[in-house]
A = this chain, B = another copy of it.
Amino acid sequence: MPMVRIELLPGRTREQKARAAREITDAIVRTLGAKPEATQIVFAEVARSDWATAGKLADES
């Protein structure tokens, strides 16, 4: 029953996400012994103006 949530900056194509979903699921099945059909992944895009590191939004120059 692993439930995976991935927050990332926008800009990836649907094909990149499809590959990521496939390969992350494979890694989880291989290393954690999960069943593929019980493994779910959610991608949550976060705009650069909504993500800060060291107190600075990612769209600040």
Contacts and interface: CB of A to CB of B under 8 A. Distances in A.
A9 B26 CA distance: 18
Counting contact residues on chain A (CB < 8 A from B), the size range is: 35 or more
Contacts of A57: 14, 17-18, 21
Contacts of A34: 8
The interface residues of chain A, by DSSP majority, are classed as mixed
Contact of A2 (B1, B2, B6): B6
Contacts of A12: 32-33
Given A41-B51, A50-B44, A8 B14 contact: no
Contacts of A58: 1
Contact of A3 (B6, B22, B27, B37): B6
